[in-house]
C-alpha cells in the first residue's frame, strides 16, 4: 500500500504558487474470503460487497468438495483445501491493481482454520477468523470427512491446547499482522475453548481484536446476527485499511519535512522565514 505525494505549481495571474498533492495509491488492498466446510462462496458475497465499498478488491471462491466439485466431498483432504486457498491467494495478488503487501484473509470455521495456516505460506497483513475450527495435526492427508469419525474430536476442542501442539495455533503464534477473532455466543460446533486457544496463540500479533456476537449459533442462522458480524468485520477492515494509509501518509509528510530542512541547511545564505 502506498500514498502519492507530489509537489505541483498552480498558475494564478502571471505567477505560480506552490502546492502539494497528496493522493491515494493506485493499488488496492485485497481481501480473500474462505468459507467453511459445507458452505460456499455465496455466503461471503454480501461481506465482499461491503469491503469493495471501502476500497478493497475482493475474491470469494469455492473450496474443492463444494459446489462445482461436490463429487469430491468424501475424498478431499485438508492438504487439498489448503492448496486451493494458496491458489486463490496467488490469483488475487497477481491482479494488477492489487497491492500484494496489503492482503486480508477472512475465514469462517474450517476456512478460518485453513486461513491461519496460509499465513505461514504467504504474506498476510490482516487476518479475520470467525468461529475458527480446530483439528488434530494427525491424518493431514486423510479425507476431511474422516476427521469427524474421531470420537475424541469434540473433547479435543473443549480442551486447553498449547500453541506448540497444533499447526494452526503455531501459525497464529508466528503471525505478526493484525488479527480479528469473532466468536458466536451459542456455538455448539466450535466451543469457546477453541476461540480461547486461538486468542492465546496470537501472542505476537501487531494487534488483536476479539468480539462475541450475542445470540449467534455456529452457522449464524438469523439475519440479525449475520448483520452484526458483517458490521464488526467491515468496521475492523475499514479501521485497518484507513489506518495503514494514514501511517504511510504521515511517513511521507515526515520525509518531505526532512527534505525541506536539509534543503534549508544547504542554503545558509538565504534568510530563514518564520513559521506562522
Cα–Cα distance measured from residue 205 to residue 227, given in angstroms and rounded to the nearest whole number: 27
Q: What is the pLDDT of residue 140?
A: 95
23, pLDDT greater than 70: no
Q: What is the pLDDT of residue 218?
A: 97
Question: Is residue 30 within 8 Å of 104, Cβ to Cβ?
Answer: yes
pLDDT over 90 for what percent of the chain?
74
5, pLDDT greater than 80: no
Q: What is the pLDDT of residue 246?
A: 62
pLDDT in tens, 110-123: 999 999 999 999 99
Query: SS3 letters for the chain?
Result: CCEEEEEEEEEECCEEEEEEEEEECCCEEEEEEECCCCCCHHHHHHHHHHHHHCCCEEEECCCCCCHHHHHHCCCCEHHHHHHHHHHHHHHHHCCCCEEEEEEEEEEECHHHHHHHHHCCCCCCCEEEEECCCCCCCCCCCCEHHHHCCCCCHHHHHCCCCCHHHCHHHHHHHHCCCEEEEEEECCCCCCCHHHHHHHHHHCCCCCEEEEEEECCCCCCCCCHHHHHHHHHHHHHHHHHHHHHHHHHHHHHHHHHHHHHHHHHHHCCCCCCCCCCC
Q: How confident is the model at residue 10 (pLDDT cuts 50, 70, 90)?
A: confident
Q: What is the pLDDT of residue 265?
A: 76
- Global pTM value: 0.85
Cα–Cα distance measured from residue 147 to residue 113, given in angstroms and rounded to the nearest whole number: 14
Amino acid at each position: 500500500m502506498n500514498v502519492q505525494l507530489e509537489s505541483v505549481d498552480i498558475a494564478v495571474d502571471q505567477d505560480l504558487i506552490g502546492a502539494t498533492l497528496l493522493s491515494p495509491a493506485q493499488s488496492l488492498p485485497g481481501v480473500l474470503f474462505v468459507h467453511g466446510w459445507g458452505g460456499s462462496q455465496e455466503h461471503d458475497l454480501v461481506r465482499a460487497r461491503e469491503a469493495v465499498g471501502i476500497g478493497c478488491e475482493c475474491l470469494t471462491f469455492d473450496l474443492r468438495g463444494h459446489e462445482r466439485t461436490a463429487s469430491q466431498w468424501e475424498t478431499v483432504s485438508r492438504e487439498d483445501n489448503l492448496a486451493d486457498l494458496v491458489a486463490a491467494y496467488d490469483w488475487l495478488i497477481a491482479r494488477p491493481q492489487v497491492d500484494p503487501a496489503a492482503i486480508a484473509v477472512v475465514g469462517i470455521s474450517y476456512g478460518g482454520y485453513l486461513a491461519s495456516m496460509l499465513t505461514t505460506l504467504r504474506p498476510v497483513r490482516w487476518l479475520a477468523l470467525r468461529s475458527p475450527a480446530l483439528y488434530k495435526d494427525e491424518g493431514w492427508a486423510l479425507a476431511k470427512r474422516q476427521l469427524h469419525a474421531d470420537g475424541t474430536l469434540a473433547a479435543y476442542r473443549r480442551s486447553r491446547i498449547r500453541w506448540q501442539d497444533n499447526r494452526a495455533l503455531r501459525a497464529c503464534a508466528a503471525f505478526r499482522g493484525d488479527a480479528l477473532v469473532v466468536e458466536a455466543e451459542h456455538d455448539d460446533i466450535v466451543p469457546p475453548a477453541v476461540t480461547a486457544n486461538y486468542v492465546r496463540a496470537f501472542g505476537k500479533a501487531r494487534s488483536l481484536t476479539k468480539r462475541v456476537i450475542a445470540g449467534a449459533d455456529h452457522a449464524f442462522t438469523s439475519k440479525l446476527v449475520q448483520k452484526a458480524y458483517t458490521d464488526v468485520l467491515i468496521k475492523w477492515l475499514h479501521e485497518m485499511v484507513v489506518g495503514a494509509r494514514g501511517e504511510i501518509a504521515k511517513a511521507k509528510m515526515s520525509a518531505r519535512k526532512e527534505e525541506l530542512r536539509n534543503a534549508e541547511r544547504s542554503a545558509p545564505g538565504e534568510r530563514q522565514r518564520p513559521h506562522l
